[in-house]
Amino acid sequence: MNDSPPRFAAWLLTQLLREHDREVVLGDLAEEYSIRRRLAHQRAAARWYRGQVYGSVPPVLWASFRRGSWAATLAVAAAAYIVIGVVEFCAVAALSTFLTAPSALSSVLNTLVGLGTMVLGAYSAAAVRPSAARVLAVIVALVVTGMIVALPDTVPLWYQLAFLFGGPLACLAGGSLCLNRRKRRNPGRGRTDSAHGSVR
Amino acid sequence: MPRGELLGSLEHIVLLALLRLGESAYGMTVRREIEDRTGRSLSIGAVYATLERLETKGFVSSFTGEPTAERGGRAKRHFRIEAEGERSLREAQAAVQSMSAGLKKRLGTV
């Protein structure tokens, strides 16, 4: 039986929290998760854990917004989004010279190019401002949702879902890669997203 | 009566939870105390976001404890209410009492 909390939920929360809060919040959840696992079924404990994580997303994002320096972070994320769009457009145009007729293969390649570009874009954005990758993930989620609502039947459902869920996750993964690399380079230095960055 | 910054409803409840819990107040105990007493389900993210606001206002302070095995080697962050927080809480309580005076019939047990 798996003793650890749901991995994806834990990973998602790790990406959203600033370093100052990460360990204590994950520790609090791990503590109560282990109590619930002892008292109830593991599945119920995992459901509780996921509920806590998904319920925490709006307040964590809002707290991040309130901390300020948001305009600069938003500008970096928006710039990254534009660059991603341009690079993706060029890459897809280059692909279309080899695959002239629309096919399942071209859709798969376009998806891979799109998601790969998002990972790189988020990596670059996080290098400029650590929280920009998270903002980029939100922008991607909003834009894809808007496109699905406005143009529901223009592309296959799997393609829409791949970008709806894969897009934000690709951005978070790119940001995570950048921050992990930075941490390996400077193991003694914590990331400071805000004025509250130091641990008391 | 002089008034400082107004407390939000969740801030009010979190401050009361800190008072009740005393030394054992940290994120998860605060969350559980509120859930047990009010029946209101609260995410840990909402609790920390509120505690962060209260800390910024100078109403609470925090310190990090030692890591423990039951938490996967992670530390707790303990919170305690400061004098400014207690003062603000007293003002908020007084305001609620003042506003509910004479409304006992309509509000029931308030």
Residue A1: is its pLDDT beyond 90? no
- CB count, 10 Å around CB of B7? 22
Phi, psi dihedrals of residue B67, rounded to the nearest 5°: -65, 145
What is residue A200's predicted lDDT score, i.e. its pLDDT?
28
Measured between beta carbons, the chain A residues lying within 8 angstroms of B46 are 55-56, 59
**How far is the alpha carbon of B102 from chain A, nearest alpha carbon, in Å?**
37
* Residue in B43, B49, B77 nearest the CB of A52: B43
Q: What number of other Cβ atoms are within 10 A of residue A85's Cβ?
A: 14
A194 secondary structure, DSSP code: S
Between A136 and B107, the higher pLDDT residue: A136
CB contacts < 8 A, A to B, total 79
Q: Answer yes or no: do A55 and B72 touch at CB < 8 A.
A: no
Phi, psi (rounded to 5 degrees) for A55:
-70, -20
Whether A56 and B43 lie within 8 Å, measured CB to CB? yes
What span, in angstroms and rounded, lies between the C-alpha atoms of A152 and B95? 52
pLDDT band at residue A179 under the 50/70/90 scheme: confident
Per the prediction, chain A carries an average pLDDT of 84
Q: What is the tens place of the pLDDT at every residue in A31-45? A: 999 999 998 888 999
The percent helix, strand, coil of chain B (3-state, each to 5) is: 60, 10, 30
Residues on chain A touching B79 (C-beta within 8 angstroms): none
Distances (CA, A) of A186 to A75, A182, A198, B58, B61: 26, 6, 16, 32, 29
Q: Which of A98-112, A136-150, B48-62, B66-80 has the lowest mean pLDDT?
A: A98-112
What secondary structure letter does DSSP report for B68?
A: B
Residue A11 CB neighbour total at 10 angstroms: 15
pLDDT interval class at B66 (50, 70, 90): confident
Residues from chain A that touch B44, judged by Cβ atoms under 8 A, are 25, 28-29, 52, 56
Name chain A contacts of B71, Cβ cutoff 8 Å: 27-28, 30-31
Q: Identify the contact set of chain A against chain B, taking CB-CB distances under 8 A.
A: 13, 21, 23-32, 34, 51-52, 55-60, 62-63, 66, 196, 199-200
Does the pLDDT at position B33 exceed 90?
Answer: yes
Tell me if chain A has a CB within 8 Å of the CB of B6: no
Contact B52 A52 (CB under 8 A): no
Give tens-digit pLDDT for A167-178.
Answer: 999 999 999 999
Residue B78 has pLDDT above 90, yes or no: yes
Neighbours of B46 (CB within 10 A): 22
How far apart CA B59 and CA B88 sit, in angstroms, is 8
Q: Does residue A113 carry a pLDDT above 70?
A: yes
- A56 Cα to chain B: minimum distance (Å): 4
Q: Which helix (H) or strand (E) holds A97?
A: helix A70-98
End-to-end alpha carbon distance in chain A: 37
B63 CB neighbours in chain A (<8 A) are 200
pTM of the model: 0.67
CA dihedral A167, A169, A175, A180 (to 10 degrees): -150
For chain A, percent of residues with pLDDT exceeding 70: 89
Higher pLDDT, B85 or A184: B85
Can you tell me the distance from the alpha carbon of B14 to that of A22, in angstroms, rounded to the nearest whole number?
20
